[in-house]
Amino acid sequence: MLVLGIETSCDDTGIGIVDAAKGIRANVVASQLEAHKPYGGVVPEIAARAHLDVIDDVLAQALQDSGLCFGDLSAIAATTGPGLIGGVMVGSMMGKAIAAVRHLPFISVNHLEAHALTARLTHDVAFPYLLLLASGGHCQLVLVRGVGDYRVLGRTIDDAVGECFDKSAKMLGLGYPGGPKIEQAALTGNPKAFPLPRPMVGRIGCDFSFSGLKTAVRTFLEGRPLTLALVADVAASLQAAIADSVADRASHAFTMLKEEGLVVTSFVAAGGVAANQALCARLTRLAQENNVFFAAPPPKLCTDNGVMVAWAGLERFRLGLIDGLDAPARPRWPLEDLRRTQ
């Protein structure tokens, strides 16, 4: 069983091929980082055009890397949302065209579900499990009960954690993308140098908030020269504040599940922010405190990629969840809505 997956929901053009028996056969990603760097963030129109420019080459490279041809494939999966609609349409139309011409089943994949299921490919995690899904556009804690079966326990009430990293990195003069830049700068900094706030810590529930933390960084930096030492200390302090906040919210999720008599044996972190090693170290300790296994995909599978789409497609294909070529492209598509689309 071989599934080809296409991911174009933001600024990475990714195509991957997953074999149910042999695992990952190809993982090709074309980054648009240089195109968006001058703007300090992703420009939707530039992203859509860049996907169009490279997607044929990315597809050819994935097939070459895998040693496969279209005739070997069992199904085609493509992200159809949520995301920047121009990019989503590029990938979904490519997937539908291949499926139509090659008479292959087409599987419409939710980008968030693709992230949510990746740990089942990399760590063979069993349902149900607690998921932290954290990226530039999303931050939520989810009980993953099965394919297409999600219960959101908490989400950000304002900014996503990745946005906090990006905007703070810009204020520190570190550039884009912010997450990796902050993590690198923090290596030589003191995480206790500055008492930045820990948003929502101690509050009831599992919701997040990062807007105030971003504002606190801006307020602190006003009037201060950006020396290398200051930047390193602020980066380390910010990273520590985010880790403490996320760990507190996840701890509340564990408490909520225990009070309801729900048992999970794994805690999974997914999405681009899950590539942050300091955050993962903090969450590993939290998992140990709750006697559960912690799993985060390797960094190259935390950021957007075609492998996660292919794997989600394979999981859905196994259950007979096949879509028509009229499956819509969606800028918004909450995880909770997946059950209704099956």
* Arithmetic mean of pLDDT, 236-241: 97
Question: How far is residue 110's CA from residue 323's CA, in Å, rounded to a whole number?
Answer: 12
Give the pLDDT confidence of 31-85 residue by residue, as tens digits: 998 888 888 888 999 999 999 999 999 999 999 999 999 999 999 999 999 999 9
Number of C-beta neighbours around residue 40 at 10 A = 15
Question: Given the structure tokens 């564990």, which residue do they identify?
Answer: 254
Mean per-residue pLDDT of the chain:
95
Task: Report residue 341's pLDDT band, with 50, 70 and 90 as the boundaries.
Answer: low
For every residue of 146-211, which 3-state class applies, written as one string?
Answer: ECCEEEEEEEECCCCHHHHHHHHHHHCCCCCCHHHHHHHHHCCCCCCCCCCCCCCCCCCCCCECCH
Question: How far is residue 269's CA from residue 146's CA, in Å, rounded to a whole number?
Answer: 16
Give pLDDT, residue 315. 97
Of the candidates 179, 186, 189, 191, the residue with the CA atom closest to the CA atom of residue 275: 179
Tokens representing 216 are 């606190």
Give the pLDDT confidence of 261-288 residue by residue, as tens digits: 999 999 999 999 999 999 999 999 999 9
User: Taking 60 as the threshold, does the pLDDT of residue 122 lie above it?
Assistant: yes
Q: Domains of the chain by range and CATH?
A: 2-116+301-341 (3.30.420.40), 127-296 (3.30.420.40)
